[in-house]
Structure 1
Amino acid sequence: MKKTVSSLKAMKQKEKIVMITAYDALFANLFRDADILLVGDSLNMSFGGAKDTLSASLEQMIYHTKAVCNGAPDTFVVCDMPFGTYTDEQIALQNCIKVYQETNAGAVKIEGGVEKAHIIKALTTNSIAVMGHIGLMPQFVRSEGGYKIKGKDEANIAKLILDAKAIEEAGAFAIVIEGVKPEAAKAITQAVQIPTIGIGAGSDTDGQVLVWSDMFGLNTEFKPKFVRTYLDGATLFQNGLKEYMKNVKDGSFPDENEVY
């Protein structure tokens, strides 16, 4: 059964939430049994070859969200709002309405804590479901001078808890916690009544999310410490290509059963 905002919130402390990225209809269909499919702006890095997520556009995100919704119509889909599309309440509302009108996404995701709470409030009061995102925030990579792990001291943990509570109060139904120390993620999770979904944040969150090309071993250039590889995808694809090339060159493909 397709998850809803209400059913996902009800999973807190009862059942772990499974979220995985998806960017097209083909893989969305393969991943349709997950609780949530996230159309992440990570697509710009994973499949666009960019150095960070900042150049992803709203048009890109809508295109890929449409595709994912088509491939997995019975799975809850979240669209990552790209950099620069929610700088104030009016712009955020305009862009998120566009996402809702042009896709079947169940929610949008926005990076930021206390400073973005008023924007989340503007969206949720206008019937747009929002997933928050705190901790290491990829859209802040240039302003922070790199990817910085958070929750290393009590002051920062307290700040993260304030961020989480502000997001919850603004009406968000869930929060992604990325790149924080496990003890910080645990404290945040215990401080709010909505589910937390971790990535590089330990096991005490209410769920987990990974980028699918990382977890299935397709990224041969870099593997983040927090990623567990569930499939040696790169080797499987490379071996398949070698076999195809061999069959084409020796004339064994196509055979008599593979022609009209």
Structure 2
Amino acid sequence: MSKHSEIKKITVNHFAKMKQENEKITCLTAYDYTSAMILDEAGIELVLVGDSLGVVMNGYENTIPVTLDEVIYHTKAVKRGLKRSFLVLDMPFGTYHESEEKALTNCIRAIKESGAEAVKIEGGAEKAPLVKKLVNSGINVMGHIGLMPQSIHTMGGFKVQGRDGVEKYIEDAKALEEAGIFSLVLEGLVADVATSVTKAVDIPTIGIGAGKGCDGQILVFHDVFGLFDDFIPKFVKRYADAKTELVKAAQDYIGDVKSSVFPDDKHSYLR
């Protein structure tokens, strides 16, 4: 049982305390009201409306086409389904790259319209000045280094990071921590590098494909529950095979309708 299981509402302050107490932080993505309710009831501490919605919800090839309007729309729906979990919104590609002023405007809009309690942005030390500006403006920021999906074109695709050493990632993490992030996603990092980064900072790290040495873990909703099988990353562990169950249920429904088994008297209004 979690030490924090009785907390009625998770706030940004709880994550630092969880790291201090060596309690792992559980995070998953969600994109709609129903899935948000499920995760909240289950006890997930942090829910991220990731730009991964572009792939698993909208069928894009990658996350690059996702717009701020799309993320806000989905976050508003998720917000309605949460009572306890902390809610983070993923700022899409292009919404914080043009200038710090434009980034601040977009982040303020995202928070005000969606109800999210924090934003997530990708990038290392070069994003520290922006992070500081956002934090000083009253916006909670989650960082993200390692494999950065919004930079796949410049990174040459989805490639594991950190095999060339740990120094750069520690420098990035410390710069972002000093700028004021409350937590840091480590994606696609070799496990020992992610562990070293985690030990080098006081803020909690959230791993995805970064080994068990991180302070918490996050995965995509559709991957965890077996709803999406276009591709399955090595780091994904499936906890259900919901797609197979849903296909079977749909086929049973088709059979019942075709054979006039459904609707029967039990599922009809009678005089």
Report the TM-score, using the length of structure 1 for normalisation. Answer: 0.97
Indicate yes or no: 2:17 matched with 1:7: no
1: CA distance, partners of 2:257 / 2:184? 50
Which amino acid is 1:75 matched to? S
Aligned to 2:156, the other structure's residue is in SS state: coil
Shift of 1:72: 1.0
Indicate yes or no: 2:28 matched with 1:20: yes
Shift of 1:120: 0.6
Shift of 1:116: 0.7
Aligned to 2:131, the other structure's residue is in SS state: helix
Aligned counterpart, 2:84: 74
Shift of 1:41: 0.2
Shift of 1:259: 1.7
Counterpart of 1:138 (choices 143, 149, 155) is 149
2: CA distance, partners of 1:6 / 1:167? 17
- Aligned length, in residue pairs: 258
Which amino acid is 1:159 matched to? K
Shift of 1:78: 0.3
What 5-or-longer segments of structure 2 have no aligned partner?
1-7
Percent identical pairs in the alignment equals 49
| 1:76-135 alpha-carbon deviations (Å, 9 max, x no partner) | 100000000011210111011001111221100000011111111110000000000000
Which amino acid is 2:87 matched to? V
Aligned counterpart, 2:38: 30
Which amino acid is 1:107 matched to? A
Which amino acid is 1:181 matched to? V
Matches within 5 A, 1:104-115: 104-115=115-126
RMSD value, Cα: 0.9
| 1:125-151 alpha-carbon deviations (Å, 9 max, x no partner) | 000000000000000001222112111
Aligned counterpart, 2:260: 251
Shift of 1:220: 2.2
Q: Contact between 2:45 and 2:84, CA under 8 Å: does it hold in 1?
A: no
| 1:171-206 alpha-carbon deviations (Å, 9 max, x no partner) | 000000000000000000000000000000000000
Aligned counterpart, 2:204: 195
Counterpart of 1:127 (choices 138, 159, 165) is 138
Matches within 5 A, 1:1-260: 1-13=8-20, 14-32=22-40, 33-87=43-97, 88-154=99-165, 157-260=166-269
Aligned to 2:96, the other structure's residue is in SS state: coil
Which amino acid is 1:237 matched to? L
Report the TM-score, using the length of structure 2 for normalisation. Answer: 0.93
Shift of 1:9: 1.5
Q: Contact between 2:87 and 2:117, CA under 8 Å: does it hold in 1?
A: yes
2: CA distance, partners of 1:138 / 1:148? 10
Aligned counterpart, 2:3: none
Shift of 1:153: 2.5
1: CA distance, partners of 2:158 / 2:27? 22
